[in-house]
Amino acid sequence: MPEMLSQTQIDQFERDGFVPRVRVMSEAQALEIRDRIESFERGQGAVLRGDQRHKSHLLFKFLSDVVHLQPIVDAIEDLYGPDLLCWNTNFFIKEARTPAFVSWHQDSTYWGLSSPDVVTAWVAFSESNAASGAMSVIPGTHRMDQVPHRDSFDDNNLLTRGQEVAVDIDESTAVRLDLSPGEMSLHHVRIVHGSPPNVSDNRRIGFAIRYIPTSVRQLHGEDSAAKGAYR
d(CA 20, CA 121): 10
pTM of the shown model: 0.94
Residue 1: what pLDDT?
79
d(CA 65, CA 30): 12
Residue 230: what pLDDT?
55
Looking at every residue in the chain, the average pLDDT score rounds to: 94
Q: Specify whether the CB–CB gap between 191 and 17 falls below 8 A.
A: yes
pLDDT digits (tens, 9 = 90+) for 1-59: 789 999 999 999 999 999 999 999 999 999 999 999 999 999 999 999 989 999 999 99
d(CA 182, CA 171): 28
DSSP string, 51-74: GGGBSGGGT-HHHHHHHT-HHHHH
Question: What are the structural domains, with CATH classification, of the chain?
Answer: 7-226 (2.60.120.620)
pLDDT digits (tens, 9 = 90+) for 159-180: 988 999 999 999 999 999 999 9
At residue 110 the predicted structure's pLDDT band, cuts being 50, 70 and 90, is confident
Q: Residue 81's closest CA among 134, 126, 117, 122?
A: 117
19 phi-psi bin (left φ>0, alpha ψ -120 to 50, beta other): beta
